[in-house]
Structure 1
Amino acid sequence: MQVIDPHVHFWQIASGNQPWLSEPVPNLLGDYSPMARDYGPADLRGESEAIELLGAVHVEADAVDPVEETRWLAGLDDSGTPSLPTALVVGTDLSRSDAADILERQLELSDRIRGVRQILNVHADPLFDYAGRHYMNEPDWGKNFALLARHRLSFDLQLYPSQMPRAAQLAAEHPETLFVINHAGMYVDRQGVAGWRAWRDGLRALAARPNVVIKLSGFGMLDHRWTVGSLRPLILEAIDAFGTERAMFASNFPVDGLYARYDALWQAYADVVADASNEEKAALFVDNARRTYRLPAAHVSPLHDNNNGNDK
Structure 2
Amino acid sequence: MPEIPFVDAHVHLWDLSRLHYPWLTPPFADDGPNGSVEAIARTYLLDDYLADAARWNVVGMVHIDAGAEASAALAETEWLQAMRDARGMPSGIVAFAALDDPDVDVLLAAHARHGGVRGIRHIVNWHADPMRTYTPRDMTQDEAWRRGYARLAHHGLSFDLQCYPGQMGSLAALVARHPDVPVIVNHMGMAVASDPAGFDDWRQGMRALAANAHVVTKISGVGFIDRRWTIEQIRPLVLEAIEMFGADRCLFASDVPTDKLFGSFDRHMEAYHAIVADFSDAEKRALFGGNANRVYRLGIAL
| Shorter-chain TM band | over 0.9
Give the counterpart letter for 2:78 in structure 1. Answer: R
Give the SS at the match of 2:13: coil
The residue correspondences of 1:68-87 to structure 2 (distance < 5 A) are 68-76=75-83, 83-87=88-92
Give the counterpart letter for 2:55 in structure 1. Answer: A
* CA distance in 1: counterparts of 2:248 and 2:12, whole angstroms: 25
Give the SS at the match of 1:123: coil
Contact 1:59–1:89 (CA under 8 A) maintained in structure 2: yes
Give the SS at the match of 2:58: strand
Give the counterpart letter for 2:65 in structure 1. Answer: E
* CA distance in 1: counterparts of 2:250 and 2:19, whole angstroms: 34
**Which moves more between the two structures, 71-80 or 264-273?**
71-80
The residue correspondences of 1:259-274 to structure 2 (distance < 5 A) are 259-274=262-277
Give the SS at the match of 2:78: helix
* CA distance in 2: counterparts of 1:120 and 1:165, whole angstroms: 14
Change (3 A) 1:52 1:78: farther
* CA distance in 2: counterparts of 1:79 and 1:265, whole angstroms: 29
Contact 2:220–2:252 (CA under 8 A) maintained in structure 1: yes
* CA distance in 1: counterparts of 2:104 and 2:142, whole angstroms: 14
* CA distance in 2: counterparts of 1:266 and 1:274, whole angstroms: 12
The residue correspondences of 1:255-294 to structure 2 (distance < 5 A) are 255-294=258-297
Partner residue in 2 for 1:205:
208
Partner residue in 1 for 2:38:
33
Partner residue in 1 for 2:55:
50
Contact 2:123–2:162 (CA under 8 A) maintained in structure 1: yes
CA-CA distance at 1:92 after TM superposition: 0.3
Change (3 A) 1:34 1:153: same
CA-CA distance at 1:195 after TM superposition: 2.0
* CA distance in 1: counterparts of 2:281 and 2:164, whole angstroms: 32
**1:105 maps to 2:110:** yes
Equivalent of residue 220 in structure 1, options 212, 219, 223: 223
Give the counterpart letter for 1:174 in structure 2. Answer: H
Contact 1:13–1:22 (CA under 8 A) maintained in structure 2: no
- Percent sequence identity over aligned pairs: 40
Give the counterpart letter for 1:93 in structure 2. Answer: A
* CA distance in 2: counterparts of 1:241 and 1:132, whole angstroms: 31
* CA distance in 1: counterparts of 2:45 and 2:89, whole angstroms: 9
CA-CA distance at 1:146 after TM superposition: 2.0
CA-CA distance at 1:227 after TM superposition: 1.4
**1:183 maps to 2:190:** no
* CA distance in 2: counterparts of 1:118 and 1:144, whole angstroms: 11
Partner residue in 1 for 2:131:
127
5+ residue gaps, structure 1: 301-312
Count of matched residue pairs: 295
Question: Structure 2-normalised TM-score?
Answer: 0.94
CA-CA distance at 1:296 after TM superposition: 1.5
* CA distance in 1: counterparts of 2:274 and 2:193, whole angstroms: 26
CA-CA distance at 1:191 after TM superposition: 5.5
5+ residue gaps, structure 2: none
Partner residue in 2 for 1:304:
none
Give the counterpart letter for 2:273 in structure 1. Answer: A
**1:172 maps to 2:181:** no
CA-CA distance at 1:259 after TM superposition: 1.9
Give the SS at the match of 1:244: coil
* CA distance in 2: counterparts of 1:44 and 1:34, whole angstroms: 16
CA-CA distance at 1:131 after TM superposition: 1.7
Give the SS at the match of 2:160: strand
* CA distance in 1: counterparts of 2:209 and 2:202, whole angstroms: 11
Equivalent of residue 196 in structure 1, options 174, 195, 199: 199
Contact 1:247–1:284 (CA under 8 A) maintained in structure 2: yes
Question: Structure 1-normalised TM-score?
Answer: 0.91
CA-CA distance at 1:70 after TM superposition: 1.0
Question: Which 4+ stretches in 1 moved above 4 angstroms?
Answer: 77-80
Equivalent of residue 154 in structure 1, options 146, 153, 158: 158
